[in-house]
Amino acid sequence: MTRIFIDADACPVKDEIYRVAGRHRLMTYVVSNSWMRIPQSLLIEQVVVDDGFDAADNWIAENATSGDVVITSDIPLADRALKKLAIVLGPSGKAFTEQSIGLSLAMRDLNAHLRETGDISGGNAPFSKKDRSQFLNVLENTLQKLRKG
């Protein structure tokens, strides 16, 4: 049965995930480095990992399996989850795939290098209502496809 894993520390769409997962009656794991308020539900489990580097990512990568859905903006975690045959979505609705993850990793490394050298500054564009809407649509469609097999 499909489960949902949320890389929760910086996830802007947790409330949306709770609603959609609840409609589909899916177990959802909210994985973070610190306690956070989550809805009371037998289908939502909070997992607080230690403060170690990538501890939340490691827990998700170790527990996600084929057919699970992982929600993360962390590209190395997306790569690890894909290798476990999980479906991986970014918070803006972008699906990470075996075909796209190599380019995503390369762009991440290039942007990190450019930030280090001062050639670019700043971060990602602000999260928008359009991103939230697109995420909801992609998550719902993904779960419906999984349910149909």
Joined tokens for residue 25: 């009656």
* Host domain of residue 47: 3-148
pLDDT of residue 26: 98
CB-based contact 6:90 (threshold 8 Å): no
What is the spatial distance between Cα 133 and Cα 112, in angstroms, rounded to a whole number? 28
pLDDT of residue 103: 58
pTM: 0.84
pLDDT of residue 116: 72
Q: What is the pLDDT along the chain (149 residues), one digit of tens a residue?
A: 899 999 998 899 999 999 999 999 999 999 999 999 999 999 999 999 988 888 999 999 999 999 999 999 898 999 999 999 999 999 999 899 876 665 555 665 565 666 677 766 666 678 899 999 999 999 999 999 999 87
- Shortest CA distance to 14 belongs to which of 28, 3, 27, 24? 28
Overall domain count for the chain: 1
Residue 64, class by beta-carbon neighbours within 10 Å (0-12 exposed, 13-18 middle, 19+ buried)?
buried
CATH number of the CATH domain containing 99: 3.40.50
What is the spatial distance between Cα 60 and Cα 78, in angstroms, rounded to a whole number? 10
- Shortest CA distance to 92 belongs to which of 123, 57, 127? 127
